[in-house]
């Protein structure tokens, strides 16, 4: 009796737009909604420069992923790449555990930011909010990759809309931007290059997420076409939004307020009306 060996793989069902929105969504929520004030705590008014530097550094890695993902379109991403490069399962396992722990840290930061914005409406014990949120996210992931990415795509559009809403409501005019440009990108009072790179080190976390796209390459309909576009496209979209909102934050808020707040986007628009703060907090709560 002849045995037929068939390669078992994941169902190819994801299009370029789905993967692109997934990449943007994995970066945006934790990045700008939570971190902009913390980055300013290190680099001050040069926070936009810190985000720009972090984006350039992340772009180098993203470019590598955009070349590797189409070449090795397997669920496993970094683990597959390391194993292929060094032929070492031990090293690949080490990288895999690193990815897992990074996921833990990312989830913790995102949920902490979610709690901060939820407190604008109602206060619950942090532990209760985090446990319930994690349970719901796990159920969404179990539901299926196609269904999950459709939900993520919708959430991503809400996140992008929220950031554009902040930029629009803040209403920073060109003259004000020009007069403060050097303080945000060139040199600020008490300029410290080390502090700028400290801010960039923290801001780099805001770009964590594009590497997750490599894990869905096996489920892409056409990974050779979709993966480079999705990886680099999501990075450039996030970089533009991060720098733009960092500029708005530095101009719109006094530095001490920006550093102290746990909900920087809400603080920015609150200056234009408290009802705006509720809107942006609602957007963040629904998208985180």
pLDDT at 78 over 90: no
> Is-contact 202 34, C-beta < 8 A?
no
Segment 231-238 mean pLDDT: 92
> Is-contact 40 242, C-beta < 8 A?
no
Segment 195-203 mean pLDDT: 91
- The whole-angstrom separation of Cα 229 and Cα 23 is 11
**Cβ-proximal residues to 103 (8 Å cutoff; 6+ apart), any chain:** none
For the domain bounded by 16-180+191-287, which CATH number is listed? 1.20.1740.10
Place of tokens 């532990």: 127
Confidence band, pLDDT 50/70/90 cuts, at residue 4: very low
Q: Where are the domains of the chain?
A: 16-180+191-287
Burial of 4 (0-12, 13-18, 19+ CB in 10 A): exposed
Least confident of 64-78, 118-132, 156-170: 118-132
């Amino acid at each position: 009796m002849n045995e037929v060996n068939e390669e078992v793989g994941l169902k190819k069902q994801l299009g370029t737009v789905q993967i692109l929105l997934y990449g943007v969504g994995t970066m945006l929520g934790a990045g700008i909604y939570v971190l902009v004030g913390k980055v300013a705590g290190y680099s001050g008014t040069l926070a936009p420069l810190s985000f720009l530097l972090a984006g350039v550094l992340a772009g180098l890695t993203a470019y590598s992923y955009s070349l590797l993902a189409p070449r090795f379109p397997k669920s496993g991403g970094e683990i597959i790449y390391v194993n292929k490069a060094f032929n070492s399962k031990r090293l690949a396992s080490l990288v895999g555990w690193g990815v897992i722990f990074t996921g833990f840290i990312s989830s913790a930061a995102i949920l902490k930011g979610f709690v901060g914005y939820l407190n604008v409406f109602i206060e619950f014990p942090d532990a209760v909010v985090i446990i319930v949120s994690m349970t719901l996210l796990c159920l969404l992931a179990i539901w299926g990759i196609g269904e999950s990415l459709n939900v993520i795509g919708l959430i991503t559009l809400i996140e992008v809309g929220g950031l554009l809403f902040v930029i629009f409501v803040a209403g920073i005019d060109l003259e004000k931007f020009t007069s403060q440009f050097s303080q945000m990108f060139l040199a600020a009072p008490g300029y410290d290059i080390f502090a700028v790179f400290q801010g960039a080190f923290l801001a780099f976390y805001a770009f964590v997420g594009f590497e997750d796209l490599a894990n869905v390459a096996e489920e892409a309909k056409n990974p050779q076409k979709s993966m480079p576009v999705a990886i680099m496209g999501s990075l450039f979209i996030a970089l533009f939004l991060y720098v733009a909102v960092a500029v708005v934050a530095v101009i719109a808020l006094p530095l001490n307020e920006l550093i102290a707040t746990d909900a920087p986007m809400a603080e920015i628009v609150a200056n234009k009306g408290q009802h705006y703060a509720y809107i942006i907090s609602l957007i963040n709560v629904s998208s985180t």
